[in-house]
Amino acid sequence: MNSLNVYLTIGAALFSIGLLGVLQRRNLIGMLIAVELMLNGANVNFMAFNRFLAPDPTVGQIITLFVMGLAAAEAAIGLSIILALFRRLHSINIERAQQLRG
Amino acid sequence: MMQWVLFVPELFYILMAAVFFCASLSRRQQPSRLYIWALTISAVGVVVTVLSARQEGMLFFDAYRVDLYSQLFKLLIAMGTFWVVFSCSELKGVSERQHAEFYFFLSVCTLAMMMLVSSVELLTIYVAIELSSYSLYLLVPMRQRADEYAETGIKYFMIGVTASAFMLFGISLLYGVVQNTYVTEVIRILPTVIHEPAAVVGLILALSGFFFKQALFPFHIWAPDVYQGAANQVTTYIGTASKMAAAAMVIRFVGFSNEASELFVQLLVVLSILSMTFGNLVAIIQKDLKRLLAYSSIAHAGYMMIGILSMTQRGYASAIYYAIAYLVMTYSCFMVIMRVAEDGHNLQIKELAGLHKRSPLLAMTLMLGLFGLAGIPPTVGFTGKFLVFAAALEKGYLALVIIGMVNATISLYYYLIVIKAAYLLEPVHPYPPVPVDSWTRTMSIALVILMVYLGVFPDQFVALTEAAARSLY
């Protein structure tokens, strides 16, 4: 079980589950959580490459720490926008927010 | 060694952000005073960037490179910011209580994009692009009295964070293949391992974050809605300054593969063709001028890609020139929109009727800007397209160039519809005259001169872009 491939598979699975969640969820909070899953999939990748391949074993860990910090900032911004939207529409369901068609 | 001198433009915009952060804390705010402050500071910012244009060096453990390439793009970003601030005199789209915050986010975003074009380390690039995106996520929903556009902000946010997650995943794969995060190492090692699927997939995913900012085809979905739903000034900022940073990073990342991968080049060709064709065809049916410009920006991302995917120095230089041209032309169009829609509403094309009588100068600026976007000589847009197509022909991409030219012809149709509205149509009911103050008049004349001069005498500027492309590697 202690091989690079296992961890890469876990990372890719997390990323795919997250992507599926973003595409399929209709609840904005759920979409936000799904995006966090995608970021964590990338984090698992960084840690795995760091553990098995990289000559300098700190780089991947530092990147992961940075990404965790950025993800927190991202969640804060996302929640503030969702809150503003909730005040206008009284719902956090994405179906209610469909007036513009890209 | 006075290393901090290299960092002066960024320090200046940190200062600007600090000033407006303090201003946003005070309870009494006078919009006119804030405007004067913002205008002065951003004008000084342009001067500072020009003065530091010739600096070279490395900073922060070699993660940050200051060279002609980055300084040129910093200058473009600073110019874009100054122009956007310049047209904020009637910032009606944003509530008065939030003006200080608006300027604050604008300066933070400018700072982040300046750091983005200079950073040569993958983590630094990621942090910089996230910082600039976060400011834009907050600027977009700032529009007041816009219930029908309420969902714009959340749409932009969701698509943006998904694209950045893709980018991070791509960077993680690149890190796994190269086992180093410095761009110089990536350029050295990546061409030797490009046959591995992880390398190509990583590079493409990493690029998707920038494609999102540039609104290239599969990542364009946000552009029309955000252009339409954000306040006019914010749209201008997204359409001009933010596109410059994205173009700079796409040029840098595409250069990673160094033409070693046939598949990668073919994918870029397909994206470029789809982007041009889709943008131009859908733009034809638009009624809202900002939406039309959004689709035209998708098409222009495709044209720029033609120059980039040539992967020669001349190709990169032509793409840089195209970016300069795009900045000037798009800003001209947006400035007219902001002046004509003084109260900050979304301008419909038919509202332009009779503009040549209401304000001949603005009509002429709009006409030259649109002619430039369509690529008609002697404007700067023609020269830009010519250089891009010439660079692609040199590499033998004949079919791509022909498709590009067909697209330029299609695009002429909808640009001419707008010009027809401004010059030939009589208004159904009389619109109020457009007030044009002397500053705007000066700016219009300067833009017109710039567009024609850049188009007729491009030699110096082409030499400048070629020097910038040389300093890239």
In chain B, what are the domain boundaries? 3-470
More confident residue, B374 or A98: B374
B127 confidence band (pLDDT: 50, 70, 90): very high
CA–CA distance, A47 with B319 (Å, rounded to integer): 37
Paired tokens of B265: 């080049």
**Residue A44, domain member (yes or no):** yes
- Within an 8 Å CB–CB cutoff, is residue B172 touching chain A? yes
Residue B193 clears pLDDT 90, i.e. is over it: no
CATH of the domain at A70: 1.10.287.3510
For residue B1, name the pLDDT band (cuts at 50, 70, 90). low
Dist CA B399 CA B420 (whole Å)? 32
Start-end of H helices in B284-374 = 289-309, 313-340, 355-358, 360-374
The two tokens of residue A91 are 């719902």
Q: Are B68 and B56 in contact (CB under 8 A)?
A: yes
pLDDT tens for each residue of B291-302: 888 899 999 988
pLDDT in tens, A24-42: 888 888 889 999 999 999 9
Q: Could you count the other beta carbons within 10 Å of the beta carbon of residue B460?
A: 9
pLDDT of residue B245: 87
Residue A14 lies in a domain: yes
From CA B21, how far away is CA B18, in angstroms rounded? 5
| Cα separation, B274 vs B251, whole angstroms | 19
Give how many domains chain A has, as a whole number.
1
Q: Which residue of B has its CA nearest to A39?
A: B165
Predicted ipTM beyond 0.85: yes
Considering only the beta carbons, identify the residue of B150, B176, B221 that sits closest to A89: B150
Answer whether B172 sits within 8 Å of A35, measured CB to CB. Answer: no
**Between chain A and chain B, how many beta carbons pairs sit less than 8 Å apart?**
114
Q: Is residue A90 part of a domain?
A: yes
- Give pLDDT, residue B2: 61
Q: What DSSP designation does B54 have?
A: T
Which B residues, 135 through 164, put their C-beta within 8 Å of a C-beta on chain A? 137-138, 141, 147-155, 157-158, 161-162
DSSP sequence for B389-449? HHHHHHTT-HHHHHHHHHHHHHHHHHHHHHHHHHHTPPPSSPPPPPP--HHHHHHHHHHHH
Residue B191 has pLDDT above 60, yes or no: yes
Chain A CB within 8 Å of residue B189 CB: no
Beta carbons of B176 and A89 less than 8 Å apart: no
What's the pLDDT at A49?
87
pLDDT at position B242, please? Answer: 85
pLDDT at A4: 82
Residue A88 structural domain: 4-96
Beta carbons of B193 and B199 less than 8 angstroms apart: yes
pLDDT-derived band of residue A15, with 50, 70 and 90 as boundaries?
Answer: very high
Q: Does B201 touch chain A (CB under 8 A)?
A: no
Contacts of A47 (CB under 8 A, 6+ apart): A7, A60, A61, A64
Let me know the angle formed at the C-alpha of B282 by B327 and B242, rounded to the nearest 5 degrees: 25
Local confidence band at B141 (pLDDT 50, 70, 90 cut-offs): confident
Q: Is 60 exceeded by the pLDDT of residue B214? A: yes
Are residues A38 and B169, on separate chains, in Cβ contact within 8 Å?
Answer: yes
Is the per-residue pLDDT at A94 higher than 80? no
- Site of tokens 């222009």: B300
Residue from the list B150, B161, B222 with its beta carbon closest to the beta carbon of A88: B150
Distance of residue A2 Cα from the nearest chain B Cα, in angstroms: 17
- Distance separating alpha carbons of residues B277 and B170, to the nearest angstrom: 27
Contact A81 B225 (CB under 8 A): no
> β-strands B57-59, B64-66: how paired?
antiparallel
What amino acid occupies position B274? L
Q: Which residues of B are less than 8 Å from A98 in CB distance?
A: 151
Choose among B181, B98, B179, B176: nearest CA to B143.
B98
Task: Using a CB–CB cutoff of 8 Å, tell me whether B222 touches chain A.
Answer: yes
Report the C-alpha gap between B348 and B418 in whole angstroms.
10
